[in-house]
Structure 1
Amino acid sequence: MGTAATPAFDTEALRRGIEADNAAALLSLYADDAELRVVDRNTQPSHPMVKHGRGEIADMLNDVYSRDMKHKLEQCVVQGDHVAYTESCEYPDGVKVLASSMMALREGKIVEQTLVQAWDE
């Protein structure tokens, strides 16, 4: 008797979603009860911005990926039920953003994500 395979995380869907500015495609990678923490200059480690569930995460993704900027998935590593990736972004005026994420998966879906980002000032 074999064991059921755990669904794999779809790294190509992650790349397509990021690089095509497709918030809906990215949202499909999250579990219903996912939690996303964002740490940056404005939301520092002791008080991160926290989004609970797909609804709040959707609002954030729709905001970010509706902006006039280019997004690129730089690196992505999957090991078991963890994913790490870096994303670079650039606004038309040349301002750049670099984001790094660490994620935990359950059945191939994101359940926890910590995103650390920095941008040109």
Structure 2
Amino acid sequence: MGTAARSAFDSDTLRRGIEDKTPTTLLSLYTDDAELRVVDHNTQPSNPRVLHGRNEIAELLDDVYSRDMSHKLEMCIVQGDRAAFSESCEYADGVRVLADSMITLRNGKIAEQTIIQAWDE
């Protein structure tokens, strides 16, 4: 009888990374060559925003975490080399954002991520 392999991905680190006020912890969860795709009202499925590597992802995270808003990890599910999570955010003026992510893991780090997000308009 075999046992399922456990991912080295740490959802507690993901929670701290999302909910902290700086992106450093969150950025540490990505591989150097990670690819991040963002689908939303502005970058629709036929032409998503695609970021390549930790440097481009760091620029996005620096921008997001420079804003006056809160972030909360709502749910995270990890199974093998795949994970999914939901994040809710709220700007100081009350505008809310919901983002769902599907990720592929390599050696416990995020190698690929697709974010689908929507916000109040």
Is the shorter-chain TM-score for this pair beyond 0.5, marking a shared fold? yes
Uncovered stretches (5+) of structure 2, i.e. residues with no partner: none
* Alpha carbons 1:40, 1:118 under 8 Å: kept: yes
Q: Tell me the residue number matched to 1:37.
A: 37
Q: Tell me the residue number matched to 1:103.
A: 103
1:53-68 pair list within 5 angstroms: 53-68=53-68
Aligned length: 117
Q: Give the 3-state SS of the residue equivalent to 1:22 in structure 2.
A: coil
For 2:114, give the aligned amino acid. Answer: T
- Percent identical among aligned pairs is 69
CA distance in 2, matches of 1:76, 1:6: 15
Q: Tell me the residue number matched to 1:47.
A: 47
Query: What is the Cα deviation at residue 66 of structure 1?
Result: 1.5
Query: What is the Cα deviation at residue 51 of structure 1?
Result: 0.2
Over the aligned positions, Cα root-mean-square deviation in angstroms equals 1.1
User: TM-score with structure 1 length normalisation?
Assistant: 0.93
CA distance in 1, matches of 2:65, 2:75: 19
For 2:73, give the aligned amino acid. Answer: L
User: TM-score with structure 2 length normalisation?
Assistant: 0.93
Uncovered stretches (5+) of structure 1, i.e. residues with no partner: none
CA distance in 2, matches of 1:66, 1:18: 13
Q: Give the 3-state SS of the residue equivalent to 1:18 in structure 2.
A: helix
Query: What is the Cα deviation at residue 65 of structure 1?
Result: 1.3
* Alpha carbons 2:7, 2:80 under 8 Å: kept: no
Residue 117 (structure 1) aligned with residue 117 (structure 2) = yes
Query: What is the Cα deviation at residue 7 of structure 1?
Result: 5.6
CA distance in 1, matches of 2:26, 2:7: 17
